Structure 1
Amino acid sequence: MKLDSAEEESRGVPSPLAEGSPSTLELAFSKILHGLSRPESGQGNARTAVLQDLGALIEAAECDELCEGTRSGDSLRGMPEILGQVAKALEKLAAPPKEKAEGGDGHSEVAGKATEVGLLFLKLLGKVEAAKSSPACPAWKTGLRHLAGPAYVFATTHRLKQPWTSPRSQRVADEVLSLLLRVTECSSVAGFLCGENEDDRGRFAVVLGLLKPHLNKESWKNNPAVKHVFSWSLQQVTQPWLSQHLEKILPPSLLISDDYQTENKILGVQCLHHIVINVPAADLLQYNRAQVLYHALFNHLYMPEHHLIQAVLLCLLDLFPVLEKGLHWKGDAVRATTHCHDVLQLILTHMEPEHRLLLRRTYARNLPAFVRKLGILTVRHLKRLEPVIIGYLEVYDGPEEETRLKILETLKLVMQYAWPRIPCRVVVLLKALLKLICDVARDTSLTTEATKCTLLQEATDCLILLDHCSQGQVKVLLSKIVLSCEDRTVVNCIRRVQQSSAAVPCDDS
């Protein structure tokens, strides 16, 4: 679009090209921006008209004109700044509305708006890409800097399958993200957010700045996409880049995890887990942050949701080393009860009466990791562990038998770490293991033969280890059973125990 001011000059009107005066293109974009800001612009014909005018304006403008600006101190203002404001208005226009309490999702028109907005972002980024290849327009980086953040937030909001997206809107959003990465010369989203060289500081801070107004206690649920954009973007940023943003990412993660909806709790815990893994322990210990994280996670252990429990336990296992770095222990004093002890005690308390299979699997799946973590200190929990192990070995857990296999793994670890306390429990554990072997041998359910073989193998290994811990007591007891047993599978397992060597190393650390 070529600017012609001769007519205005002939009437004594100052030329828009005069220094410090807005150009005709700036005025046109400002008018469009005003139209996008009106409440009615998001509805029907009014929206279509404004977006059509904007599309025509972008197509008519020259590449260099869109990136030109007036010099103000050390920064360029004018068109780049206006383009950034237009981009923010477009992203806001395509954002999904707050979910309605009365059952309507409020998302029926969002996909259509997102498709229209995505096509405009493609035109804008296409102009910047053309300006980039033009030697006459060195200011293209300024225009891109204002466009990149809103374009990224838009693309991240609509590129994945969500209630407010459609296949077409997802495709357009994917194209926007691909073009954005190409224009910014980034090979990945992580590179876009973190920077791919020393001169590029990345754009994660810009994205967080755009999300910040929507991530406080009063407003974070007004736009259902914000939590997903924040979570997905956060998990693209790893160490060493993440620690510099800790003050901005920790409060929203805690806020999301503290919600009453299980879906949001899990999303928040996943964000916290990413922070724990990718932020140095020294930064997490500063200002008591690690303790805040621990208490927030510990409270979730009272929720009977297996997906949430799984996410929380994985996060806690990675948080324990951080918390332990903040403890000071003197060898001549009794070692203080650590956070891991408290968590395991609560888990065992919940495990014993638990009857829901999904929760039982989740607890059993993570139990070996806690025993490995505590090592010989597992002896503090033997009174609680014993009934849990025996009770869980008795219950069929479906074709894959995940719970029983994990409990057998736990039992092996307990015997290796706490072997001096095992001889007094030989009879109880022997009965439980023999009962398991008999149950599996007679099992006519859908359990595969491979799973049955694995169960029998693991149970037999436990018997062998139990025999070594008890200095041969198990062999003596089994010698009487084998004479009267008629089940060939059971007899084979007993024979393996009797034929085992007398020296299997136990962990005496």
Structure 2
Amino acid sequence: MVTVGGMADTIERLRSLMEGDSCDSLSDSLLGLWDLEPEFGVFREALELLRPRLCKDTWESYPEAKSIFSWMLLRVTRPWLSEFFSQVLPPSLLFSDDYRVENKVLGVTCLHHIIRNVPAAELRQYNQAQVIYHALKNHLYTADAEVIEVVLPCMLDLLPVLQNPPPALGEYQKEKENPADEILQLVLTHMEMEHKIRLRRVYARNLPALQQWLGVRVARHMKRLLSVIVGYLEVYDGPEETARLCILETLQGTIKVAWPRMPSRLPLLLKALLKLISDVSCDPGQNPKSVTDALLHGTTECLVLLDRCCNGQVKATLEGLPSLCDDPLLVQCMKRVQEAT
């Protein structure tokens, strides 16, 4: 335990750091202070000292205060962070609301850490979770890939907190709009029009988790979702094929939970999947072998799932196709579909 004199010395060193005294590395200096107090006394004192420098009208004038705050915050975890919740939330929201990309990313990173380390009941108290949700939702309208990359995982972790508890047995409760529906609508809107490869990858990477969270409710968005899926399967995504692989994963999950809707969409999906197999097999050298194998495996899995929920229509359609083509990869995929039970 740190003595009174030791804590006074620590506070003085914190003041020196906040005044911008010369030091080679802020992280090294903070780490030296952090190790002195295992019970987050340094963090408690730092928040008091930082408070006047992290107000709406002052925080931009003290970049060192922002750095000290974020460095310390990210090292306080559950269950101790809940003690400081009311003190760390306002600065994090301020950072995320700034116009500079680096501050937005820092603010969302701080909010994500808070969401993961503060109990859901405390986040819901006084509608704080809704405040965080609306702050994050505003970022979905940006075209900065760095921001979207941190916002979507943060929102996915916030969804369980926002979920309404089930009604009591025998009690009727009108179903409200699920925040996940709003997020998916916005994501699909941006995916439909997005042409930047990096943003397409970011959206596609987070789509499987969003689809999995919605479950059967994804049927509400079926038309737009399948339109996006087909559009993304048609576009080459570079050697790693991040977007296409994630889109195939999304399609597999969608088929599993919304299988009664698949027969009417079979022609559209069958055409897109066969075209993907043809594109990959015609030029297998454009991707590493592991990526090519993953694409073909994912596509074949989608065809097998479609066949199961469409009463064998896929096998019937593909029957005889292997004898009409000489591409070994295409023939191999068709045989896997025919042999699947």
Shorter-chain-normalised TM-score: which range? over 0.9
Identity across the alignment (%): 48
Checking the alignment, whether the CA contact within 8 Å between 2:33 and 2:42 is kept in structure 1 is: no
2:241 corresponds to which residue?
401
Letter in 2 for 1:441: S
Checking the alignment, whether the CA contact within 8 Å between 1:154 and 1:173 is kept in structure 2 is: no
1:492 corresponds to which residue?
332
Give the total of aligned pairs: 340
1:374 equivalenced with 2:221 (yes/no): no
2:231 corresponds to which residue?
391
C-alpha deviations, 1:180-213, integer Å up to 9, x for none? 466x3x5xxxx2xxx1xxxxx6222101011111
Q: Secondary structure at the match of 1:203?
A: helix
2:105 corresponds to which residue?
266
CA distance in 2, matches of 1:309, 1:232: 22
C-alpha deviations, 1:394-417, integer Å up to 9, x for none? 000000001000000000000011
Letter in 1 for 2:308: H
CA distance in 1, matches of 2:197, 2:238: 9
1:313 equivalenced with 2:140 (yes/no): no
After superposing on structure 2, the runs of 4+ consecutive aligned residues of structure 1 that deviate more than 3 Å are: 152-158, 176-182, 325-334
1:144 equivalenced with 2:31 (yes/no): no
Measured on the aligned residues, the alpha-carbon RMSD in Å equals 2.4
1:237 equivalenced with 2:237 (yes/no): no
Shift of 1:285: 1.1
CA shift in 2, pair 1:225/1:446, >3 Å: farther
C-alpha deviations, 1:358-410, integer Å up to 9, x for none? 11000000000011101111111101111100000000000000100000000
Shift of 1:480: 3.9
1:363 corresponds to which residue?
203
C-alpha deviations, 1:144-169, integer Å up to 9, x for none? 121213424656998xxxxx98xx72
CA distance in 2, matches of 1:156, 1:440: 56
CA distance in 2, matches of 1:157, 1:443: 60
Structure number with the higher helix fraction is 2
CA distance in 2, matches of 1:207, 1:379: 49
CA shift in 2, pair 1:144/1:353, >3 Å: same
CA distance in 2, matches of 1:284, 1:312: 18
Structural mapping, 1:149-298, within 5 Å = 149-152=11-14, 169-170=24-25, 174=28, 176-177=29-30, 180=33, 184=36, 186=37, 191=38, 195=39, 202-298=41-137
Checking the alignment, whether the CA contact within 8 Å between 1:415 and 1:465 is kept in structure 2 is: yes
CA shift in 2, pair 1:361/1:144, >3 Å: same
Based on CA coordinates, which of the two structures has the bigger radius of gyration? 1
1:345 equivalenced with 2:185 (yes/no): yes
Checking the alignment, whether the CA contact within 8 Å between 1:294 and 1:319 is kept in structure 2 is: yes
CA distance in 1, matches of 2:118, 2:19: 26
CA distance in 2, matches of 1:466, 1:274: 40
Q: Secondary structure at the match of 1:336?
A: coil
1:411 corresponds to which residue?
251
Q: Select between 140-149 and 268-277 the one with higher mean Cα deviation.
A: 140-149
Checking the alignment, whether the CA contact within 8 Å between 1:376 and 1:418 is kept in structure 2 is: yes
Shift of 1:141: 2.2
Letter in 1 for 2:330: V
Q: Secondary structure at the match of 1:303?
A: coil
Letter in 1 for 2:6: L
CA distance in 2, matches of 1:178, 1:299: 34
- Structure 1 residue runs of 5 or longer lacking an equivalent are 1-131, 133-139, 159-163, 196-200, 502-509
Shift of 1:284: 1.2
1:443 to 275, 283, 288: 283
Q: Secondary structure at the match of 2:269?
A: helix
Checking the alignment, whether the CA contact within 8 Å between 1:157 and 1:229 is kept in structure 2 is: no
Q: Secondary structure at the match of 1:369?
A: helix
Shift of 1:482: 2.5
CA distance in 1, matches of 2:232, 2:171: 37
Letter in 2 for 1:240: P
Q: Secondary structure at the match of 2:52?
A: helix
TM-score by structure 1 length? Answer: 0.63
Shift of 1:486: 2.2
CA distance in 1, matches of 2:27, 2:322: 69
Checking the alignment, whether the CA contact within 8 Å between 2:70 and 2:110 is kept in structure 1 is: yes
CA shift in 2, pair 1:240/1:147, >3 Å: same
TM-score by structure 2 length? Answer: 0.93
CA distance in 1, matches of 2:294, 2:18: 44
Letter in 2 for 1:345: Q
